Chains A and B, each alone.
Chain A
Amino acid sequence: MAKVKVYSTPSCPYCVTLKEYLKDNNIAFEGVDVSQDKVQLDDMIKKSGQMGVPVVDIDGEIIIGFDKIKIANLLNIKD
């Protein structure tokens, strides 16, 4: 099973939508609140080159924003 990590902030609506999408499709993931965790935030910025959320790490593949098509492809989610 793919290792999925979601970097987000609590106030970000896209992050909520993204996490709900993963839950609806029974994808287990680790959620990280970067507003509370400086180490994880720096890690996210380094990996993605982004100062924006959400960022998803699927087995080392970095997806910026809620890119449903890319995420569905990587996780084999059928629409």
Chain B
Amino acid sequence: MKYDLIIIGGGPAGISAGIYIARLGVNALLITKEFGGQIGKKAVDIENYPGFSKISGPDLIKKMEEHLKSNKIDIEMNEVLRVEKRDENFVVLTKTKKEFEATSIIFASGADPRPLEVPGEKEYIGKGVSYCALCDGPIFANKTVAVIGGGNAGFETAIFLSKIVKKIYILEFGSEIKAFESNQKLVNQTGKAEIITNVKLKEIHGKDFVEYVTYEDKETKEEKSVEVQGVFVEVGYMPATSYAKGLVNFNERDEIKVKPETCETSTPGIFAAGDMNEGVFKQVVTAAGEGAKTALAAHNYIQRLKSK
């Protein structure tokens, strides 16, 4: 099946692009492995999306998904493995070996959690190591856990976990905490968190499940350890761009380079919205805004080709 446009991604950027493009009457397909991405797994409520003074990530994305589905657009729940240029068109290949062709593409698949890259991490995924506190947190009732990363995401994760677990260690690589004052205050109020800075994580240890982590105290160079049953990783995100390699230009942070006015990439016909591109501010509302921008720009592009 040949489409005018394929949107890859089901977060705020992709959904917003989908709503705009469907309303423009463009023959379009949206491919995503899930709806929501990062905000579907956000541990605390969203309080800065206009129209909602306070809403949970999963609830907001549910509303966005329903809004999208009330429009006329094809949806394929699938994982994209590769995008190729074939003659004048683009071909999207999925994990289940399906192929979809389109004149134009919007990349909007966001970012994935950045791994720690220490020994034991991969081995203990699902055995104590988690990248989704919202999903797995409830399994750690009355246990001791570590949150790796002392930024806002780490502190928000600790606030969420404090309702469930017995004790939380927040382990931060830097010498000071970068989380907002308000988040630090909330974490202090839980009375369950111990914050340790200057932590260079060495290894995650255990038998069948995680039992403890070892780290170097960067100040004293001493090797130390803390006993934990869970390790929640919150050290940032990296753009989910593997399928786009070789097709568009990237910056040094592996983000797709775009023209700020239209979010056009270096390849005509391909646009990139949200956390995948080099935009500095990674917000739900900016992702949705860029989704709209790319849809309108892609529409112009498709019209131009058709009038030739």
Contact in complex: A16, B139 (CB < 8 Å): no
Q: Which of A35, A64, A68 contacts B139 (CB 8 A)?
A: A35
Whether, in the assembled complex, B137 has its beta carbon less than 8 Å from a beta carbon of chain A, the answer is yes
Contact with B along A25-36 (1 / 0, CB 8 A): 000000000110
Q: Judging by beta carbons under 8 Å apart, are B35 and A34 in contact?
A: no
* Docked-complex contact A64 and B132, CB < 8 angstroms: no
Contact A64 B126 (CB under 8 A): yes
Contact between chains at A34 and B34 (CB < 8 Å): no
In whole angstroms, what is the CA distance A51 to B206 when docked? 13
Contact of B135 among A9, A21, A68, A79 (CB under 8 A): A9
Interface size on A, residues (CB 8 A): 25
Residue in A closest to B79 when the chains form the complex, CB atoms: A68
- Is A51's CB under 8 angstroms from B136's CB? yes
Contact of A12 among B95, B96, B136, B229 (CB under 8 A): B136
Residues of B within 8 A of A52 (CB): 125-127, 130, 135-136, 139
Contacts of A79 in B (CB 8 A): 96, 98
Interface SS of chain A: helix, strand, loop or mixed?
Answer: loop
B126 touches A51 (CB 8 A): yes
A15 interfacial by beta-carbon distance below 8 Å:
yes
**Residue A58 lies at the interface, judged by CB distance under 8 Å to chain B:** no
Residue B208 at the chain A interface, CB threshold 8 Å: yes
Known: A50-B127, A51-B127, A52-B126. A9 touches B138 (CB 8 A): yes
Chain A contacts for B61, CB-based, 8 A? 13
Chain B contact residue count (CB 8 A cutoff): 29
Q: How far is the CA of A74 from the CA of B134 in the complex (A)?
A: 28
The answer to the question of A53 belonging to the interface, with a C-beta cut-off of 8 Å to chain B, is yes
Chain A residues with Cβ below 8 Å from B77 are 21, 68
Complexed CA–CA distance, A68 and B135 (Å): 18
State in angstroms the CA–CA spacing of A9 and B128 once bound together: 16
User: Nearest Cβ distance between residue A49 and chain B, in whole angstroms?
Assistant: 7
Q: Do A16 and B127 touch (CB < 8 A)?
A: no
Interface assignment of A11: CB less than 8 Å from any CB of chain B: yes
Q: Is A41 an interface residue (CB 8 A)?
A: yes
Interface 1/0 per residue, A3-15 and B, CB below 8 Å: 0000001111111
Check if A69 is an interface residue, CB within 8 A of chain B.
Answer: yes
In the complex, what's the smallest C-beta–C-beta distance from B135 to chain A, in angstroms? 4
Contacts of B140 in A (CB 8 A): 51
Q: Which residues of B pack against A, CB within 8 Å?
A: 34-36, 40-41, 58, 61, 77, 95-96, 98, 125-128, 130, 132, 134-141, 208-209, 229-230
Can you identify 29 A-B contacts, CB atoms within 8 angstroms? A9-B135, A9-B138, A9-B139, A10-B138, A11-B58, A11-B134, A11-B135, A12-B135, A13-B41, A13-B61, A13-B134, A15-B135, A16-B58, A34-B138, A34-B139, A50-B126, A51-B126, A51-B130, A51-B136, A51-B139, A52-B126, A52-B139, A53-B136, A53-B139, A64-B126, A65-B126, A69-B95, A69-B96, A79-B98
Extra A-B contacts (14), CB below 8 Å, given A13-B40, A51-B230:
A9-B135, A9-B136, A11-B137, A12-B135, A13-B34, A13-B58, A13-B134, A14-B135, A16-B58, A38-B141, A51-B130, A51-B139, A51-B140, A52-B136
Where the two chains meet, the residues of A that have a C-beta atom closer than 8 Å to any C-beta of B are 9-17, 21, 34-35, 38, 41, 49-53, 64-66, 68-69, 79
